[in-house]
Amino acid sequence: MTELKPARILAIESSCDETACAVIENGRALLSSVVASQMEIHARYGGVFPEVASRQHVLSIIPVVQQALSQAHLTLNDIDAIAVTQGPGLAGSLIVGMNMAKGMALALDKPIVGVNHLEGHIYSSWVYKAGEQVPAEPQFPLMALLVSGGHSELNLMTDHLTYQRLGATLDDAAGEAFDKVARLLDLPYPGGPSIQKEAEDGDPSRFNFPRAWLDGTWNFSFSGLKTSVLYEVQELKKKSNAIPVKDIAASFQRAVVDVLFKKTMNAAREYGAKEILVAGGVSANRALRQAFKGQEDFPVHIPPLSLCTDNAAMIGAAGYFRYAFGHVSEMEMDVLPAWPLS
């Protein structure tokens, strides 16, 4: 592998409802990471309120950047480049982070690197906390399962920044399905942690909810599963039965995990992957992590819980590799779509 030049990257993430900044060295060593969450603010709406989110980013962005530099014991003059989430995400939220990054890059005469948020999630598996034992670096070819609130897809990585998207969700992403089923069960937002908590004491075999295998493709679909849960809840209510929330949560969770796990394993075998990577908000789900860690066919990389949800460390990691390979952005960069990553 080509020896890459050392660099310290200051990274900003503001794609949704977290204002985050991190400093990362050489794409892996995390010197600092600060996340200002808006979860409590948006919980009252049952989801993210875009206008509220962008206003909160404006209030948080400068203190978060200052805190990240302070934790790293660095100044802006010690930074080699600025990385920032360029998309996909909420336009108003993205603009706050991008304008902050552009302003710093212009004032400091530093390069700016736009990063796809999904690529950032993938690169979260390269990150470790500075001073701790250095974990093994993911090896190519790599089968990457990306699962979040808005995206569920399989990508084959044959090298850094090189992706072949094999399949994606045709409707609801896994995280979106968790949120919708949580609302059906009157569980609090966000749905993923709420479903997991209820499922811990539930019977995952009580309800045989459907699995959309979509044979012949690597695509996903969770809309039918969500609808099946809805019909089950409606039938129970018609019969005036108490809703067995824990059992429904456990059965639903098992259905999602079954599909994600088995399709990823099959894709890894078919494409000759050396290792598997699981990333995105849903990778924090305990049942999903246990499924992948319980198999012995492939080494598996899953980021620590603190790096599963939106954060700037992952943007810094992806930003470093883009910077090291010469993928520097223009100041006039626009918001990126979800795909392509490269």
Q: Output the domain CATH number for residue 186.
A: 3.30.420.40
**Strand order of the sheet with strand 162-168?**
162-168, 152-159, 142-147, 275-279, 300-301
31: DSSP letter? E
Co-location of 100 and 116 in the same domain: yes
Co-location of 165 and 72 in the same domain: no
Co-location of 198 and 176 in the same domain: yes
Domains in the chain, number: 2
Question: b vs e for 145-170, b when ≥16 Cβ sit within 10 Å of the residue's Cβ?
Answer: bbbbbbbbbbbbbeebbebebbbbbe
Co-location of 82 and 120 in the same domain: yes
State the pLDDT at residue 337.
86
State the pLDDT at residue 340.
84
Nearest one of 252, 301, 267 to 122, comparing CA atoms: 301
Strand duo 275-279 + 300-301: pairing: parallel
Residue 40 exposed, middle or buried by CB count within 10 Å (0-12, 13-18, 19+): exposed
Residue 292 exposed, middle or buried by CB count within 10 Å (0-12, 13-18, 19+): buried
Structural tokens at position 22 = 């991190």
Mean pLDDT by groups of 10 residues along the chain of 342 residues: 87 92 98 86 71 87 98 97 95 95 97 96 97 95 94 96 96 95 94 97 97 97 97 92 94 98 98 98 97 97 95 98 94 88 74
Co-location of 117 and 176 in the same domain: no
Co-location of 223 and 99 in the same domain: no
Co-location of 121 and 172 in the same domain: no
Task: Please name the residue ranges forming H helices in the chain.
Answer: 39-43, 50-72, 91-108, 117-123, 174-184, 191-199, 223-238, 245-270, 286-294, 313-324
Range(s) of the domain holding residue 107 = 8-127+306-324
Phi, then psi, of 325 in degrees rounded to 5: -95, 10
Co-location of 21 and 80 in the same domain: yes
State the pLDDT at residue 42.
63
Give me the half-sphere count of Cα atoms (radius 13 Å) on the Cβ side of residue 246: 6
Domain for residue 196, yes or no?
yes
Compute the distance between CA of residue 224 and CA of residue 261 in angstroms, rounded to an integer: 18
User: In what helix (H) or strand (E) does residue 162 lie, and over which residues does it extend?
Assistant: strand 162-168
The alpha carbons of the chain give a radius of gyration, in whole angstroms, of 20
Nearest one of 304, 204, 218, 307 to 266, comparing CA atoms: 218
Co-location of 118 and 205 in the same domain: no
> What pTM was computed for the model?
0.94
Domain for residue 164, yes or no?
yes
CA angle 23/27/32 to nearest 5° reads 20
Compute the distance between CA of residue 150 and CA of residue 87 in angstroms, rounded to an integer: 12
Co-location of 70 and 210 in the same domain: no
State the pLDDT at residue 339.
83
Co-location of 149 and 105 in the same domain: no
Nearest one of 258, 29, 241 to 266, comparing CA atoms: 258
